[in-house]
Amino acid sequence: MSELVRCEVDGAVATIRVDRPPVNALNVELQDGLRAAAAECTARDDIRAVVLYGGEKVFVAGADVKEFHVMSAQDMQRRGAALTDSLDAIAQIPKPVIAAVTGYALGGGCELALTADFRISADTAKWGQPEILLGLIPGAGGTQRLPRLIGPAKAKDLIYTGRFVDAAEALAIGLVDAVVEADQVYPTALAMARKFAAGPALALRAAKAAIDNGLDLDLANGLRLEAHLFAGIFATEDKQRGIASFIANGPGKADFVGN
């Protein structure tokens, strides 16, 4: 794995730590590191939830514009798919993923945060898709994930203007799920991840697949996907544990094992 991205595991929670000072710009090596970290988190059964974190000062301030400066259209055609794939690898982790965002989440950084299931933002954080100010458009999921999350009109506002959004507005438009003081961002995300890690891993995996994949289907096919995944959960040990615990003790008291 790249030195710019570390996968740090504590109990059942992994932290994918982006570490490329000063602003964690998404260069080619960092993109490759994200892909490797995603593969590890996906493959390891002992990892049951993931926190995506850029450190105390900044999440990811965007792509490495210096790399863009020397790239032709042909270069980007060859490399653009790899950029998208590196972020999509995070989105495809079949476990709960929480982005813990401090400082800046701009351009590719915002797109990276959008790959997570939830976003915890520092009250001082800035969000945005400023690519238009460079004569570009978002190229790693911003034109697709952002409107799916906050709606097309709000997404067009951010993408067309390139303006920065503070944490309060990000919360108001649904871009983030919680706003806390900067020194509480990582602990808050970690606490959320630990709660998910104690849950039924296969049911959580199925729920994520049903929601994420169902959004790309019409309602009828989405319902078929849900029914298929729902039936499959009946083969799990955690289903037996959950129902037995509910009958004996009421809801919320089951001890899940992840099988």
Q: Which of 57, 3, 55 is nearest to 27 (CA)?
A: 3
Interstrand relation of 165-166 and 126-128 (parallel, antiparallel or unpaired): antiparallel
Segment 242-257 mean pLDDT: 93
For residue 172, what pLDDT band results from cuts at 50, 70 and 90? very high
Q: Is the pLDDT of residue 60 over 80?
A: yes
CATH topology of domain 201-249: Lyase 2-enoyl-coa Hydratase; Chain  A, domain 2 (1.10.12)
Q: Is the pLDDT of residue 68 over 90?
A: no
Residue 53: the pLDDT is 98
Residues 6+ apart with CB under 8 A from 75: none
Q: Is the pLDDT of residue 73 over 80?
A: no
pLDDT digits (tens, 9 = 90+) for 14-35: 999 999 999 999 988 999 999 9
Segment 42-51 mean pLDDT: 97
Q: Is the pLDDT of residue 62 over 90?
A: no
Domain ranges within the chain, ordered by starting residue = 5-197, 201-249
Phi, psi for residue 165 in degrees, rounded to 5: -120, 130
Interstrand relation of 13-18 and 5-10 (parallel, antiparallel or unpaired): antiparallel
pLDDT digits (tens, 9 = 90+) for 136-163: 999 999 999 999 999 999 999 999 999 9
Q: Which residues are catalytic?
A: 111, 131
Query: Do 201-249 and 5-197 have the same topology in CATH?
Result: no
For residue 1, what pLDDT band results from cuts at 50, 70 and 90? low
pLDDT digits (tens, 9 = 90+) for 96-130: 999 999 999 999 999 999 999 999 999 999 999 99
Q: Give the whole-number percent of the chain exceeding pLDDT 70.
A: 94
Residues 6+ apart with CB under 8 A from 63: 25, 26, 27, 83, 107, 108, 140
Residue 81: the pLDDT is 78
- What are 189's two structure tokens? 């995300």
Contact 240, 247 (CB under 8 A): no
Contact 60, 117 (CB under 8 A): no
Residue 157: the pLDDT is 98
Taking domain 5-197, whether its CATH number is 3.90.226.10 is answered by yes
pLDDT digits (tens, 9 = 90+) for 195-246: 999 999 999 999 999 999 999 999 999 999 999 999 999 999 999 999 999 9
Contact 110, 150 (CB under 8 A): no
